[in-house]
Amino acid sequence: MAPIWHYGNMAKVKTTLSLDESLMRQVRVRAARTGRRDSDVLEEALRQGLGVLDRIRAKANLSEEAAYEVAHAAVQEARLSYKPVTPGRGGRRAATRG
């Protein structure tokens, strides 16, 4: 079993993850912009993602696997419609959502 640390009233378990480089870069950027640790950003993202899956399952009466598939498809669709900021082009992000 992994060692447990306590931060405030919450017990934390130290773990090792293998993540895509670009995803970890996003985590580090968000952590730097918000003044938080990488682990705090990752924990928040996991909690939000798991919460989304629970809400999808509850609303659509789906199995966990089916809810995951719906959420995965939604994320893929959002990624395809995302247009990143192009340096030197005014720093504006073009969005396809209205």
Q: What is the pLDDT along the chain (98 residues), one digit of tens a residue?
A: 556 555 566 677 888 989 889 999 999 999 999 999 999 999 999 888 888 878 888 888 888 888 888 888 887 887 777 666 666 655 545 444 44
For the chain, the three-class secondary structure string (H helix, E strand, C coil) is CCCEEEECCEEEECCCCCCCHHHHHHHHHHHHHHCCCHHHHHHHHHHHHHHHHHHHHHHHCCCHHHHHHHHHHHHHHHHHHECCCCCCCCCCCCECCC
pLDDT score at 97: 45
pLDDT score at 98: 43
